[in-house]
Amino acid sequence: MTPSTSRDPHPAARPATRIDVRLAAVAAEGRPALVTFITAGDPDYDTSLAILNGLPAAGADVIELGMPFSDPMAEGPPIQASTLRALNAGQTMLRTLDMVRAFRAHDAATPIVLMGYYNPIYIYGVDRFLADAKAAGVDGLIVVDLPPEEDEELCIPALAAGVNFIRLATPTTDDKRLPAVLANTSGFVYYVSILGITGTASADASRVGDAVARIKRHTDLPVMVGFGVKTREHARSMGAEADGVVVGSALVNAVRDSLDAEGRATAATVGAVTALVADLAVGVREAHVAA
């Protein structure tokens, strides 16, 4: 079987996923999508589930749920700290999948993408992971340390299981390499707008626009831009250059800032995150997609 590609000659043969349906609907509204990242289990399971449940109403179009890993090599201090809080609170892969199942029980439409590193999936077992993730209601995967050179590990089995495999494209991914990066990508393309780790610098919107245009010459998939999107203003300016924006570090920092002196959740924690998401949602709605 040929895996689905970004230039699928027979799109009708491949059933649309929740991601495809949602992003098409957002595009029809003429605005960029808001993709929100939180770490599963941060600062504890119950609070994290409450945040997750609150994201769609606050304005999140797609949810990325971080699978905590002890060694998050591409993350800056905010997501490193968030990961540690989750692991210290006892988060495991089983609990992350439980969290998706609990969310799916009342939300059948908002796409969930699990994001993280390969080792916890490898140790869980790839086939078992894909079966359990699919059954829990997961729509896509982003695995930072699986470049196309390692596609047989998880990407090809995920596509066969009907789970989108979303790839990162970066400023170092040149035109020669882009086709290889996009070949087995589905759902959307995540453009990492800076050279560096999450939660640090912000890119300049005009350069992002050029980069997105370059990627779009190679694919029909929507392109989301992330790394350094922190405010409503970023959401508006970056959003105008792409099909959507990804916000992560700013949200986990909102969690951090709401905690008490012992690092426990407070009555303000869930609201701190959903209020920021609501503000960012205004930003993407102010961005009129150029074209």
Partner 1 sequence: MAGATAKLNSYRTGPDERGHFGSFGGRFVAETLMPLILELEAAYTEAKADPAFHAELADLHTHYVGRPSPMYYAERLTEHLREKAGGKGGAKIYFKRDELNHTGSHKINNCLGQILLAKRMGKTRIIAETGAGQHGVASATVCARFGFPCEVYMGATDVERQAPNVFRMKLLGAEVHPVTAGHGTLKDAMNEALRDWVTNVESTYYLIGTAAGPHPYPAMVRDFQSIIGTEARAQILEMEGRLPDAIVACVGGGSNAIGLFHPFLDDETVAIYGVEAGGHGLDVYNGHAASLTGGRPGVLHGNRTYLLQDADGQILEGHSISAGLDYPGIGPEHSWLKDSGRVTYVPATDREALEAFQLLTRTEGIIPALEPAHALAHVARLAPTMDRDQIIVMNLCGRGDKDVFTVGKLLGFDL
Residues that bind partner 1 (CB under 8 A): 68-74, 76, 80, 87, 92-93, 117-124, 144-147, 149-150, 167-174, 177, 181, 192, 195-197, 200
Active site (annotated) includes residue 75:
yes
CB nearer partner 1, residue 53 or residue 122: 122
Listed residue (260, 237, 255, 212) closest to 38, CA to CA: 255
CB nearer partner 1, residue 68 or residue 222: 68
Q: In angstroms, rounded to a whole number, what is the distance separating the alpha carbons of residues 141 and 162?
A: 11
> Smallest gap, in angstroms, from Cβ of residue 229 to partner 1?
17
> Smallest gap, in angstroms, from Cβ of residue 6 to partner 1?
15
Residue 168, token pair as written in the block: 């990162």
CB nearer partner 1, residue 37 or residue 124: 124
**What is the per-residue DSSP string for 141-180?**
EEETT--GGGTTTTHHHHHHTT-EE-EEE-TT--TTTHHH
> Smallest gap, in angstroms, from Cβ of residue 79 to partner 1?
11
**Coil/strand/helix, residue 187:** coil
CB nearer partner 1, residue 30 or residue 77: 77
> Smallest gap, in angstroms, from Cβ of residue 11 to partner 1?
25
Q: In angstroms, rounded to a whole number, what is the distance separating the alpha carbons of residues 191 and 211?
A: 8
Listed residue (235, 159, 241) closest to 206, CA to CA: 241
Which residues are tagged catalytic? 64, 75
